[in-house]
Amino acid sequence: MTRERARLERRDLDKERGEPVAGGAVRRRPSAPRRDFRPLSEWDRRPRILITNDDGIESRGLLALKQALEAIGETYVVAPDTNQSAVGHAKTLMRPLRVRERVLADGSVGWSVDGSPTDAVSLAFLGFFEESFDLVASGINYGANVGDDIVYSGTVSAAWEAAINGAPAFAISQEYYPHPDFGLAARAAATIARNILEHGIDVDELINVNVPAVREGEHEGFEVTRLGERVYQDELIERLDPRGIPYYWIGGPPPSGVPEAGTDFSAVVNRRIAVTSIRLDLTAHDRLARLRTWDWRLAEPRVEPIAKEPPEPGERPHEAGIEDEMSDEMERERR
Ligand code: MN
């Protein structure tokens, strides 16, 4: 077989597999999301609501959220094909993304992507649906996302990605519950969605909601909160694989938190639905003045260290050498 024929055959095979071909079609990016907030009765069409969930396309929380928001607008579902909890704001750039049409448990159609929650939202805002969205709802996550959790949370990151794309968004999570009942969280989601569509939020803002694991009649209402402080209890668990090689789990008991009044953690502990406004601007504005008092002269150019004798085989590298080098540099700085 000639090389040229092999190349052509390979290309045909790639097409069959759906591999991207260089110079292929680029989807049209939809117009910027409309931020035209007013009472739902005054909308000239039903709001378009994008639904996602980091627990995956088959998660019960996603279905509960979609069903809760169907009363308010047209829902579009796109979510990771597997559980992507705690992947943070990961975005897939070094491999293609596969999107598959899926039938949800209620018979409706959604889309799964073999990527992160951020990828799912990115696809939507880069034109996968060829529509823009009036609201993005991420959840209902199985497990709270309070305080420091928000930097790990795929649920919050998905809403964050929507906010970066200029769309109003909220994340909603429910505390762990042995037999998840999303009844209360679903009603809370509808309340949040209506409020955002009617009152609006800022372009540099997203809303994070946490629902206690109680039944609908047992909650103590909503509380507007600030982010609390998590206390993680992670443990490194070492096990042996069948070949005797150790492998590791990050495990341990679920995180606790500092039960300070006014925080999301405290609200959920006290059976209230915590609603927190999160600003995209993470700048510590009150610390900038202190930072300006530091010594901002550029460091001296790096001088090549004097070659050292290589360590004898089996001998640990001479670690003191690194310290010597650093103190030399510090010495130069002082002069
Ligand atoms: Mn999750």
pLDDT tens by residue, 318-334:
554 444 455 555 555 54
pTM, entire model? 0.83
Q: Which whole number is the average pLDDT over 255-265? A: 97
Q: How far is the CA of 85 from the centre of ligand 1 (A)?
A: 4
Q: What is the pLDDT of residues 140-198, one digit of tens each?
A: 999 999 999 999 999 999 999 999 999 999 999 999 887 778 999 999 999 999 999 99
Task: Report DSSP state, residue 42.
Answer: G
Q: What pLDDT does residue 335 have?
A: 44
Q: How far is the CA of 293 from the centre of ligand 1 (A)?
A: 42
What separation in angstroms does the CA of 174 have from each of 93, 168, 186, 271, 300?
31, 21, 10, 11, 52
Q: How far is the CA of 4 from the centre of ligand 1 (A)?
A: 48
- Residues 312 and 35: their CA atoms lie apart, in Å, by 67
Q: How far is the CA of 133 from the centre of ligand 1 (A)?
A: 23
In this structure, the chain runs to a length of 335
- Residues 253 and 141: their CA atoms lie apart, in Å, by 19
Q: How far is the CA of 174 from the centre of ligand 1 (A)?
A: 10
3-state secondary structure 161-191: HHHHCCCCEEEEEECCCCCCCCHHHHHHHHH
Q: How far is the CA of 155 from the centre of ligand 1 (A)?
A: 6
Q: What pLDDT does residue 22 have?
A: 55
Look-up of token digits 């970066």:
164
Query: Amino acid identity, residue 33?
Result: P
Crossing angle of the two packed helices 183-199 and 60-69, in degrees rounded to 10: 50
Q: How far is the CA of 38 from the centre of ligand 1 (A)?
A: 32
Look-up of token digits 């629902």:
211
Q: What pLDDT does residue 33 have?
A: 85
Determine contact, residues 169/206, Cβ cutoff 8 Å. yes
> Residue 262 pLDDT more than 70?
yes
How high is the mean pLDDT of the chain? 90
Q: Which whole number is the average pLDDT over 109-114? A: 98
DSSP string, 203-226: TTEEEEEEE-S--GGG---EEEEB
Q: By percentage, how much of the chain surpasses pLDDT 70?
A: 86
Q: How far is the CA of 44 from the centre of ligand 1 (A)?
A: 35
Q: How far is the CA of 167 from the centre of ligand 1 (A)?
A: 22
Q: Which of 177, 152, 201 is nearest to 54 (CA)?
A: 152
Q: How far is the CA of 88 from the centre of ligand 1 (A)?
A: 10
| CA neighbours closer than 13 Å in the CB half-sphere of residue 154 | 27
| Structural domains in the chain, sorted by start | 27-286 (3.40.1210.10), 288-334 (no CATH)
Q: How far is the CA of 203 from the centre of ligand 1 (A)?
A: 25
**Which band of pLDDT confidence, cut at 50, 70 and 90, is reported for residue 240?**
very high
Q: How far is the CA of 152 from the centre of ligand 1 (A)?
A: 10
Q: What pLDDT does residue 179 have?
A: 75
Q: How far is the CA of 335 from the centre of ligand 1 (A)?
A: 54
Q: How far is the CA of 141 from the centre of ligand 1 (A)?
A: 5
Q: How far is the CA of 308 from the centre of ligand 1 (A)?
A: 51
- Cβ neighbors of 95 (< 8 A, separation 6 or more) are none
Q: How far is the CA of 238 from the centre of ligand 1 (A)?
A: 24
Burial of 287 by CB count in 10 Å (0-12 exposed, 13-18 middle, 19+ buried)? exposed
Residue 133 token pair: 């969205």
Q: How far is the CA of 192 from the centre of ligand 1 (A)?
A: 20
Q: How far is the CA of 1 from the centre of ligand 1 (A)?
A: 50
Q: Which of 132, 113, 133 is nearest to 54 (CA)?
A: 113
